[in-house]
Amino acid sequence: MLRYLIRRGISSIAVLVISVLLVFLTIRILPGDPVLAKLGAATEVTPEALALMRKEAGLDRPLLSQLWTWVANALQGDLGISYFSQFKVTELVAIRLPVTFELTFFIILFAVIFSLILAPLSVRKPGGALDRGIGYFTSIGLSVPGFVIGIVLILFFSLRFQILPSRGFTPLSESVTENLKLMILPSITGGLTATPYLVRYLRASMLEIKQSPFIRTAEGKGLSNSRIMFRHILPNSLVPALTMLGLIVGYTLSGVVVIEYMFGLPGIGSLAIESAFKRDYAVIQGVALTIITLFIVTTFLFDLLCGLVDPRLRMNKEEKLEA
Amino acid sequence: MSNLIDVRNLTLTVPSTKGRVPVVQDLSFTIKQGEKLGLVGESGSGKSLTAFSLMRLIKDPVRIESGEIYINGVDVLKLSAEQFRKYRGSEIAMIYQDPMSALNPIMKIGDQIVESIQLHNKISKADARRFAIELLASVGIPEPEERINSYPFEMSGGMLQRVVIAIALSGEPKVLIADEATTALDVTTQERVLNLLNRLAEERNLSVLLITHDLGVAAQFSDRINVMYGGKLVEQGKIKDVFTNPFHPYTRALLDSRCDYTVDVNKPIRSIAGQPPRPDNRPPGCVFAPRCEHTISQCTSEAPTLRSVKERQVACIRVEELSVRN
């Protein structure tokens, strides 16, 4: 197990370093910089003044030197300050993260609950009416982009029936009901996008398990169909599905950008968009670092979770990796 | 002694380009209480499908087309799936071909036995556990109190087959089907598992249907034997009679092609020329005719039916002349 953890740690750090480097370079290759963004439409600036402002921001220094300063500070937990608000990047991220976490939690909850209902229903009679119906639903869910689902939901629930708010955010600490109300539409939007992936994956995995000889053994015992489904087929299908779920959680954490922006939720996704428009280098880098770390940590946690479900992974991990 | 199992005119079909064709055709046999019946034949002869029919575990695309299966006097094919579920495990239980894949890989073997015990008896989990340990001990698993907490991947094939047997016995069935139960095991383990099955059958007065392609295993174990070829029964009789003097040319060819330590190593092993016919391509007359060395023109035109010959049933039109010549 220790050996496994070390290997996993090394590869994670490699991924982290490479992706941070890529982000650092690409935002600087893009046209424009924070100074130009701050000046906006004001074109009456002399080149001398521009150069001075860039010098103050430290943008005149060679790229490698900028990178070095950033890495050295980041290693000490200092991600720099926003060029615009002058807030510390760590603080900006810390304020925004809970919103993203909450939204991700609800989206995943939605997806997990519906997958655990739909996949077994689908597998009960493959090719039957119910299975085909669920198949159509997932096809639609996979092909319709999240923002379209969001817009449709807003049209119905906020504009037509006016039962749910479409934009804004109230912290949990202020009002729980207000907060939850604002979370409903974004969560459904994200959930409807994530559910089809999970349903399809779980269904395929369950169908495969259903063909296994040990399911025949279970049938031969005289067990009821529902017991076979939930005690034998489903638990055995969870291992591959959990890996998929880990990826989905990772993607959702980083991919709620659009949903947050559409529903005006001040999460890390909106922070990413705002700072990208303004070329607020330090903030973009901080957000990227956070999202990549979250992604690595969640997929790792879900791999550990697989070990909890499958004793073979739990007990054999070491031997297998050494072999 | 009454017939615990009575199969009458069972026909199973599969879809093919020519429509549904039979894989098992017009099969009838009985098993008495406490009797051990061997069912032999080569791959594709329909023996495993016969076993699964008895458990009603036939899955698409195979279908039970016609026939009756009486278990203890009840035609179980007429029962609803829900009604028949109560027969599984408590009247009739099965041991499967590959013990390595016959158990749930992520469930402790103890839980898999307890699950079955609790289904058939209304007892507490603690009592069911005690019963499971007893069962494990009776199938010859050492240190059953420890082993009950093992996962399948922690045990050998022979031990796993014992666990499968323990599960099969947990509902105290009257009939046990062993479908190639020793095929996946090595020879010494095979011997031990067979002896165990034999002992359990005696102790519990079980009726056993032993399905195997290994004539040696069948001979060692069963009282009577059914020989199947191409989905049909070709010979049926007491194991001793059939083995010492096979009537049907297929049974004889099967015995001649046997190879184990009892066979003279200097004699070449004879094989049966050709391949068994596919279900959608069976000849009109006797199914074995194309591979038989005694074929006459009548064989290819007229399908032989099972006839009683000296306490035996044989499906061969030339059985009298051939058995006399032998």
pLDDT greater than 60 at residue B325: no
Residues B265 and B164 in one domain: no
As a whole number of Å, the end-to-end CA separation of chain A is 14
Report CB contact under 8 Å: A232, B104: yes
Q: Residue B132: give the domain boundaries.
A: 101-172
pLDDT greater than 90 at residue A66: no
Residues 215-244 of A with CB under 8 A from B: 216-224, 231-232, 235-236
Asked if the structure places residue B33 within a domain, the reply is yes
Instruction: Spell out which residues of chain B touch residue A216, defining contact as CB-CB under 8 Å.
Output: 57, 96, 102
Work out whether strand B74-75 and strand B307-309 pair parallel, antiparallel, or are unpaired.
unpaired
Report CB contact under 8 Å: A216, B86: no
Residues B180 and B168 in one domain: no
Q: Where are the domains of chain A?
A: 96-264
- pLDDT bin (cut points 50, 70, 90) of residue B222 is very high
pLDDT greater than 50 at residue A318: no
Residues B142 and B162 in one domain: yes
Asked if the structure places residue B251 within a domain, the reply is yes
As a whole number of Å, the end-to-end CA separation of chain B is 34
Q: Is A310 on the interface with B (CB under 8 A)?
A: yes
User: Looking at chain B, which residue has its C-alpha nearest residue A213?
Assistant: B102
Instruction: Spell out which residues of chain A touch residue B98, defining contact as CB-CB under 8 Å.
Output: 213
Q: Is B151 on the interface with A (CB under 8 A)?
A: yes
Residues B166 and B183 in one domain: no
Report CB contact under 8 Å: A220, B171: no
Picking from A221, A222, A309, the nearest residue to B106 by CB comes out as A309
- pLDDT bin (cut points 50, 70, 90) of residue A41 is low
The domain boundary residue, chosen from B110, B141, B172: B172
Report CB contact under 8 Å: A311, B88: no
Helix H or strand E encompassing A161: none
Asked if the structure places residue B253 within a domain, the reply is yes
- pLDDT bin (cut points 50, 70, 90) of residue A43 is low
Residues B21 and B122 in one domain: no
Residues B80 and B209 in one domain: yes
Q: Is A128 on the interface with B (CB under 8 A)?
A: no
Residues B232 and B309 in one domain: yes
Residues B138 and B223 in one domain: no
Edge-to-edge, what's the strand order for the sheet holding B74-75? B19-32, B3-16, B63-71, B74-75
Asked if the structure places residue B96 within a domain, the reply is no
Nearest CA distance, B96 vs chain A (angstrom): 8
Nearest alpha-carbon partner for B241 in B261, B254, B224: B224
Picking from B90, B101, B105, the nearest residue to A222 by CB comes out as B90
Cβ partners under 8 Å of residue A274, min gap 6:
A280
Residues B78 and B111 in one domain: no
pLDDT greater than 90 at residue A279: no
Report CB contact under 8 Å: A221, B167: yes
Asked if the structure places residue B313 within a domain, the reply is yes
Nearest CA distance, A255 vs chain B (angstrom): 34
Greater confidence, A59 or B304? Answer: B304
- Alpha carbon of B76 to those of A30, B1, B36, B313: distances in Å? 75, 21, 21, 26
Q: Which residue has the tokens 């406490």?
A: B34
Tens digits of per-residue pLDDT, B168-201? 999 999 999 999 888 888 888 888 999 999 999 9
B55: domain CATH number is 3.40.50.300
- Mutate which of B106, B135, B164, B180 to disrupt the A interface (most A C-beta within 10 Å)? B106
- pLDDT bin (cut points 50, 70, 90) of residue B1 is low
Burial of A278 (0-12, 13-18, 19+ CB in 10 A): buried
Tens digits of per-residue pLDDT, B237-283? 999 999 888 999 999 888 888 776 666 777 777 888 888 888 888 88
Residues B159 and B182 in one domain: no
The domain boundary residue, chosen from B129, B150, B172: B172
Asked if the structure places residue B197 within a domain, the reply is yes
Tens digits of per-residue pLDDT, B63-95? 999 999 999 999 999 999 999 999 999 999 999
pLDDT greater than 80 at residue A319: no
Greater confidence, B52 or B259? Answer: B52
Q: What was the pLDDT predicted at A177?
A: 87
Instruction: Spell out which residues of chain A touch residue B107, defining contact as CB-CB under 8 Å.
Output: 231-232, 235
Work out whether strand B232-238 and strand B224-229 pair parallel, antiparallel, or are unpaired.
antiparallel
Q: What was the pLDDT predicted at A323?
A: 36
Q: What is the mean pLDDT of chain A?
A: 87
The domain boundary residue, chosen from B157, B172, B187: B172
Report CB contact under 8 Å: A312, B151: yes
Kindly provide the ipTM of the predicted complex, given to two decimals: 0.88
Structural domain count, chain B: 2
User: Assign residue B230 a region: left if phi > 0, alpha if psi is -120 to 50, beta otherwise?
Assistant: left
Q: What was the pLDDT predicted at A96?
A: 92
DSSP B170-222: TT--SEEEEESTTTTS-HHHHHHHHHHHHHHHHHHT-EEEEEES-HHHHHHH-
Q: Percentage of chain B surpassing pLDDT 90?
A: 64
Q: What was the pLDDT predicted at B278?
A: 85
Domain A96-264 in CATH 1.10.3720.10? The answer is yes
Backbone angles phi, psi at B313, to 5 degrees: -120, 130
Q: What was the pLDDT predicted at A317?
A: 47
Residues B105 and B87 in one domain: no
- Report, as an integer, the average pLDDT of A231-244: 92
- Which region among A233-237, A300-304, A311-315, B105-109 has the lowest average model confidence (pLDDT)? A311-315
Q: What was the pLDDT predicted at B205?
A: 93
Q: Is B167 on the interface with A (CB under 8 A)?
A: yes
Residues B261 and B144 in one domain: no
Cβ partners under 8 Å of residue A158, min gap 6:
A164, A165, A166, A185
pLDDT greater than 50 at residue A29: yes
Burial of B314 (0-12, 13-18, 19+ CB in 10 A): buried
